[in-house]
Structure 1
């Protein structure tokens, strides 16, 4: 199966918790500092990840979140083109997988989720750039 359709390279005891300090970059502190420096400026977080990840702290600190998955070498330009105001471009996106609430929720049942399991964004959740 393709990497993004299952838990990928995660092996016990690893979880799907987003590591905000990967590569020496502390994403949470960067977002907190930006929020403090410019309280009125919206923060859009773009997650480049091969699977849904438990990133609740980052999601809660952001005004908007885009799950960009693994877009390839030109993905950054394409994402920037639709996010920058004035380009006239629109996009819509729907989740192809249930988004996790907790770090051990790697078995949410994929497209359908699991009855009674809390999730911030269920399968099929999504918006358009102009329809939010």
Structure 2
């Protein structure tokens, strides 16, 4: 991809990038939100450790494959500073969110509709 192509607006590329960004953000956000409350200690500490590692891993693996030109021009210092601030805010948000008590499902009973049940033959008396 040339610099001229990067400078031009393309709706298809924009929508594709928006979909990729949304999938990556939701996926990493879910991993972050599910992992953080399970770790020992304050979530703020783990937010500073786990969050940037997740984003660093995703960026160093996925970005060179999708867009090598952007990967070569990425300012890593400002990128990591922004991610640390973002993850710290997320850690405080998770720390302030009340925890929902765990419920266990014991015996789930699934009832089949009557038309799927095996017909019974009435007994002769």
Higher helix share: 2
TM-score normalised to structure 1 length:
0.27
User: Highest CA radius of gyration, 1 or 2?
Assistant: 2
Structure number with greater CO (CA < 8 Å, separation at least 6) is 2
